[in-house]
Each structure stands twice: as C-alpha cells, then as structure tokens.
C-alpha cells in the first residue's frame, strides 16, 4: 500500500518538476485527512500546487474544480498537518547524535542501534568497550545518555580509571551536565587561569550548572562542536526528525554560544534540509534537532504510557500542530490543513483518534510532505 502510494506520488512530482513552468496541482484523496481546523476537522480531499494548499473539501468538488490535477491516492493512510516540535535546543542534539550513546533504554538512531544499559557495571563496561574500539588515540570519547538513577554515581576519578591517555566527556541524559576526566582537563588547559567560580567543578569533574556549562563548552567548542562533528550529527538529526513526522521546529530561548551558533547556521546554509526552523529569535531556513529528553510529543509509537483517551490524544495532536504554530506566530502558514497554508503534511499508518492507549505503539510515520514534496521514512521505520 505505502509503496504504491509513494511510487505514484513520486511519478506525479517528478512529472510536475519537469514542467515547472506549468506545474499542475496534486490531488490527495483515498485516506483519512485530519485538518486540525475546528469547523472542518476532517475532509476527503486536499489539492496542492507547488508549496501551497489550494483546496480542502469533498473529492467530488476537488475533481470538479481541478480536473487537471494529478491524483495521489493515499490508499488508506492518514494525513495530518506537518508536526512541529517546540521543545528543542539547536546544536545540542546535533552534537549528541554523533556521540557514543550509552543510555538506560535502547536507542535506534539513523547511525545505528545503541543497546540500553541499566546498571553502573554495564554502563562503565560499554564506555570501556567504546574507548578500546577507537583507533585514534588522541580522539576525545564523547558519550551521551548517563543517568544516575540507573548508572549510579560518576565522577572524574572513575573516568580516569577508564583511560589515562584519552580525553573523556560523558553527557548527562538531560544534557544539563557533563562529567570529564583528567586528560580532558589537561588537553584543553581547563585548570589554567580558571575563573574561581569554576575551579570547584573541576575537582570532581562534574560540570553541573548552567554558567559552568556555558564556560566549559566555550573552552572545548573546537572539539565537541567542530563542523566535522556537527555535520554528521545534523544529517542524522534530519533523518531522525523525518522518521517522527516533524516538518518544523521552534526552540524557546536563545543559544548562548555565538561561535557554535555561527558554525551551525553556516552548515545549514551549505546543506539545506527539509525542515523549517527557528533559532534565537530569527528564522533560519530548514533545520531542526531534538533535545533527546523525550518530551510529551514523542508519544507517537515510541512511549508506552501514551495518552489515555481520545480527548487527550486530540490535544497532543494539537500540541504538535496548530498550537505549536500559534506559539511560533506562524498559524497563518503552518499548523493545519487549510487553503492558503504551506503544503506540509505528516503521513501515518493509522488514525490516532480511533486508537486506544494500548494501540498507540502501533502508530508509524510513513512519510512527510514538505512544501509539496514527499519525503519517505527510512525503510527500517516502515
């Protein structure tokens, strides 16, 4: 079913692209279309042209008004407005996605699957294995996923026991703290001319409050946020976001490291990606990243304790669409399926509003449409 729909739509879009001067509309039908508009919550057909939605309504009227539109039969799939993530922190996830992941639960990411570790012994063993597997003896081992509730206490001395020659930095699950070893301190001369306010955190190697984190990241930015690290992380991020149906993200708050923000934005200009973004108060075309703390929005087929009833499910969908667009101030363009808005859609295998809480894990994102162009999910997500 999915392959038939995607194949037909790709042929439609390719044909339209080859005749860009007179690009015909595309008519989506044959599935469930949830608009998130209160007056017309569900329609039978959507017509798009280029980046915009032309029409929503009945199939008969769509065919009558747009007789030359190319047919895109969804074959039972469910279309919603393109999801918008509102709890993200740029750069942090792009960095974390290129790290060794050792977290309490298993993470399946575009780069591969990282098994979950739920004891201190297993956590340290996984770090040790990762360190031994690194060929370049001068390369820093950066890891994300440490959680004291599962992995116990961690400090500078314990990381020194893993290696006395390799710099090691372990990022807390919530990204609000980093534990480092002595070699990393020496490599970046963190103990030289250190502000008095930060000297204490180096003793235990636990950098665990905001001002110290900003200072630390500024000192190690040439390593942890180099273009060679951010670009692979950004590429994984794009796939990760698409697999979860996101077509835009908005981050509340500003990035406090201008040098890292500059590197990130330069990469976006060099490698445009199919996501709308919002960074530090300015709109940057096409970028996104998750903070990996798994906010409420990530219930979609991932979190077992999902919404319990239809009313809550509908609110979660609104959180992901129209309410997120309103918080961004872009509800005139995004957040619902309505004539005049951008043709950004998320395609699901099932209708969330008809599922029980127990059935929610069966939901799968089948693809996204960004500015009228289809992006299918990776095969492993089908």
Residue 247 sits at the vertex; the CA angle it makes with 244 and 252, to the nearest 5 degrees, is 95
337 touches 81 (CB < 8 A): yes
Q: Is residue 18 part of a domain?
A: yes
Q: Is residue 277 part of a domain?
A: no
Read off the tokens for 258: 């201008």
Question: Of the ranges 81-90, 108-117, 259-268, which one carries the lowest mean pLDDT score?
Answer: 259-268
Which of 177, 205, 222 delimits the end of a domain?
222
In the predicted model, what is the mean pLDDT of residues 110-121?
Answer: 91
Which of 166, 200, 222 delimits the end of a domain?
222
In the predicted model, what is the mean pLDDT of residues 228-253?
Answer: 79
72 and 168 co-located in one domain: no
Q: Is residue 233 part of a domain?
A: no
Q: Is residue 274 part of a domain?
A: no
In this prediction, residue 304 carries a pLDDT of: 32
CATH number at residue 313: 2.30.40.10
Q: Is residue 285 part of a domain?
A: no
Which of 222, 237, 265 delimits the end of a domain?
222
Q: How many domains does the chain have?
A: 2
Read off the tokens for 17: 């692209």
Cα dihedral 315→316→320→326 (10° resolution): 30
Q: Is residue 228 part of a domain?
A: no
pLDDT digits (tens, 9 = 90+) for 16-27: 444 444 679 999
Global model pTM greater than 0.85: no
pLDDT digits (tens, 9 = 90+) for 26-75: 999 999 999 999 999 999 999 999 999 999 999 999 999 999 999 999 99
52 and 173 co-located in one domain: no
Cβ neighbour number for residue 331 with a 10 Å cutoff: 17
In this prediction, residue 241 carries a pLDDT of: 82
264 pLDDT above the threshold of 80: no
114 and 193 co-located in one domain: yes
pLDDT digits (tens, 9 = 90+) for 80-106: 999 998 776 667 777 888 899 999 999
Q: Is residue 268 part of a domain?
A: no
121 and 78 co-located in one domain: no
72 and 190 co-located in one domain: no
127 touches 120 (CB < 8 A): no
Read off the tokens for 10: 């790709």
For the residues of 236-255, what is the DSSP string, one character each? HHHHHHHHTTEEEE--SS--
pLDDT digits (tens, 9 = 90+) for 134-181: 999 899 999 999 999 999 999 999 999 999 999 999 999 988 899 999
22 and 47 co-located in one domain: yes
12 pLDDT above the threshold of 70: no
Cβ neighbour number for residue 259 with a 10 Å cutoff: 12
Q: Is residue 248 part of a domain?
A: no
Confidence of residue 296 (pLDDT cuts 50, 70, 90): very low
Domain extent, residue 203, equals 92-222
CATH number at residue 126: 3.10.310.70
190 pLDDT above the threshold of 50: yes
In the predicted model, what is the mean pLDDT of residues 325-353?
Answer: 94
**Helix, strand, or coil (residue 84):** strand
123 and 199 co-located in one domain: yes
210 and 97 co-located in one domain: yes
119 and 211 co-located in one domain: yes
């Amino acid at each position: 079913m999915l392959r038939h729909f995607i194949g037909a739509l790709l042929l439609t879009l390719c044909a339209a692209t080859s005749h860009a001067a007179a690009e015909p509309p595309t008519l989506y039908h044959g599935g469930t279309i949830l608009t998130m508009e209160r007056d017309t919550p569900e329609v039978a057909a959507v017509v798009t042209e280029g980046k915009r939605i032309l029409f929503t309504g009945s199939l008969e009227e769509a065919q009558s008004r747009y007789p030359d539109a190319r047919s895109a039969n969804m074959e039972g799939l469910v279309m919603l407005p393109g999801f918008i993530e509102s709890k993200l922190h740029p750069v942090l996830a792009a960095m974390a996605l290129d790290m060794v992941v050792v977290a309490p639960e298993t993470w399946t990411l575009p780069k591969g699957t990282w098994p979950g570790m739920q004891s201190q012994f297993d956590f340290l063993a996984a770090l040790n294995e990762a360190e031994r597997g690194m060929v370049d003896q001068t390369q820093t081992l950066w890891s994300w996923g440490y959680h004291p509730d599962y992995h116990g206490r961690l400090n500078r001395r314990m990381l020194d026991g893993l290696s006395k020659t390799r710099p090691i930095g372990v990022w807390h699950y919530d990204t609000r703290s980093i534990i480092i070893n002595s070699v990393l301190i020496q490599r970046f001369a963190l103990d030289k001319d250190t502000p008095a306010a930060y000297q204490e955190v180096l003793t235990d190697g636990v950098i665990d409050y905001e001002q110290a984190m900003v200072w630390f990241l500024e000192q190690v930015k040439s390593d942890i946020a180099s273009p060679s690290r951010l670009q692979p992380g950004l590429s994984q991020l794009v796939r990760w976001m698409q697999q979860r149906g996101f077509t835009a993200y908005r981050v509340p708050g500003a990035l406090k490291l201008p040098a890292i923000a500059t590197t990130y934005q330069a990469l976006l200009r060099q490698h445009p990606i199919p996501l709308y973004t919002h960074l530090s108060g300015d709109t940057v075309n096409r970028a996104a990243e998750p903070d990996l703390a798994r906010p409420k929005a990530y219930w979609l087929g991932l979190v077992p304790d999902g919404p319990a009833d239809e009313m809550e499910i509908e609110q979660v969908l609104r959180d992901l669409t129209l309410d997120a667009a309103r918080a961004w101030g872009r509800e005139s363009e995004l957040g619902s399926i309505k004539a005049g808005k951008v043709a950004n859609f998320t395609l699901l295998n099932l209708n969330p509003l008809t599922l029980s809480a127990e059935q929610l894990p069966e939901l799968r994102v089948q693809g996204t449409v960004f500015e009228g162009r289809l992006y299918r999910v990776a095969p492993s997500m089908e």
